[in-house]
Copies of this chain bind each other. A is one copy, B any other.
Amino acid sequence: MPQGQPLSVPDDGLSTRARRRQPVLAVHTGAGKGKSTAAFGMALRAWNAGLRVAVFQFVKSAKWKVGEESAFAALGRAHDEHGDGGAVEWHKMGSGWSWSRKQGAEADHAAAAAEGWAEISRRLAAEQHDFYVLDEFTYPLKWGWVDIDEVVATLTARPGSQHVVITGRDAPPALIDAADLVTEMVKVKHPMDAGRKGQKGIEW
């Protein structure tokens, strides 16, 4: 696969090197499979480049756990013990975030989602990580739990070269407009349509 050639070269006065360090805002949306999976695949690549990776999962249940979390825990240990790749943090909303005093104490998902975004916003301002995955973040946006205009303003103004990948169905148009890279995952065929069950190692 050859590296892509730009269709045009912008007259922005930047060197090629400077352009290679520009931060990317990516959105994976659509009803097909692979939105989160591709985001974690990107995080793998980022980890290998030595970037500090942080995953924030806006999932409803703390019990819901994906295999990727364990795999990234192993990569995080490889970083801590052998200096391989970048550092890894993995946070799940569940019924409260790991950094929150309210952890496990409540089931107010709207408040938890807003708190998650507030923390991400603080970390972006502090340039705490290099590569952020905001998994299933389109849902709190869709449901109005987090204000889309504030999210777009914060992401657009984020300092440094922090990359952000947002996943979930029904990405708001304002988010798509702000993004550099948008892929829609379209379902062509899914085994559950034929009545098949999820497969261990495939679905979770």
What residues make up the interface of A, taking CB atoms closer than 8 Å to B?
1, 3-10, 16, 19-22, 24, 26, 28-30, 32-34, 36-42, 44-51, 59-60, 64, 66-68, 70-71, 74-75, 77-78, 84-85, 130-131, 136, 163, 176, 179-204
Quote the shortest CB–CB distance from A109 to chain B (angstroms): 13
Q: Which B residues touch A180, using CB under 8 A? A: 189-191, 194, 196
Could you tell me the distance between the alpha carbons of A40 and B44 in the complex, rounded to whole angstroms?
9
Task: From the candidates B16, B20, B45, name the one contacting A37 in the complex (CB within 8 A).
Answer: B45
7 nearest CB pairs, A to B: A49-B201, A48-B67, A37-B41, A34-B38, A41-B41, A45-B67, A182-B188
Oligomer: number of copies: 2
- What residue in chain B is nearest A57 (Cβ atoms)? B1
Let me know if A202 and B9 touch, CB within 8 A.
no
Let me know if A49 and B67 touch, CB within 8 A.
yes
Quote the shortest CB–CB distance from A45 to chain B (angstroms): 4
Q: Which B residues touch A34, using CB under 8 A? A: 28, 34, 38, 41, 183, 185
Let me know if B179 and A184 touch, CB within 8 A.
no
Task: From the candidates B16, B70, B136, B190, name the one contacting A181 in the complex (CB within 8 A).
Answer: B190
| Given A9-B195, A22-B197, A41-B68, 9 new contacts (CB under 8 A) | A20-B198, A22-B199, A37-B42, A37-B45, A44-B68, A71-B85, A74-B75, A163-B202, A176-B188
